[in-house]
Amino acid sequence: MTQNHFDGQMHQNMHTGSVPPAMNHGGHELFDVHEVLSNAIAGLNQAIILRPHVKDPELLDILDRQYRFALDEYNITVECFKTGKDPSHPTGSYKMQQGNDFIYGMKPSQPKKPMQNSNEITDEMISGFLLGCAKTNATAKTAAALETCNPVVRRVLQDSVPNCIEMAYELALYQNKHHYYQVPQLAEQDMQQLVNSYASAQGQPALPPNQIQ
């Protein structure tokens, strides 16, 4: 294809709305998905770096399961981003293995402070790093999906967000169970007042008339 023919084809596509799938990306989308994929690589690399330092078999199991799942999501996101077409398989659904019960209340603990050397790394820190990564990915993928023009890429990003949330929730529950992440509660009276601050709307209100003739 000559350059003139290519330019003419692109000019025609811009006017007809018919864009090749691999070129069906908006400017915001390119930058946002670039950030999503960069964050994903950083998280995967971080898991590899942290893995040798994990001491708790339960945390190691969480890290390995989340790593394998996140790596697969990264691959299918790259695939559909480059082709604009459906990836080789649909986005999966991550299933955590923690229970859903949080432990409420505060127990005395030592104040936290920065490490002085790498030998001080603990499972508390590692699970915190992984939790932060899952939360960052959820935020970045949500923002990218809101700006994505390509329908396939948007769907892959959108379907991935619940998985990031599930991973973050699993890690938060793990931290809470080991008293790394403590959850205070309000007094029962204050909690009830806030819970009961809202009521459901009754029936369907009459909408005001529209001015369109």
Tens of pLDDT along 168-184?
A: 999 999 999 999 988 89
Tens of pLDDT along 13-54?
A: 444 456 676 677 878 888 999 999 999 999 999 999 999 999
Structural domains of the chain in order of their starting residue, each with its CATH number: 25-101+120-187 (1.20.1260)
pLDDT of residue 92: 95
Nearest to 127 by CA among 117, 137, 135, 119: 135
Question: How far, in Å, CA of 158 to CA of 31, rounded?
Answer: 17
Indicate whether 210 pLDDT > 70.
yes
Nearest to 137 by CA among 56, 47, 51, 206: 47
Q: Which helix (H) or strand (E) holds 162?
A: helix 151-177
| Whether the Cβ atoms of residue 141 and residue 17 lie closer than 8 Å to each other | no
- 85 vs 76, 106, 162, 164, 196, CA distance in Å? 10, 50, 22, 23, 48
Specify the amino acid at residue 211: Q
Where residue 7 falls among pLDDT bands split at 50, 70, 90?
very low
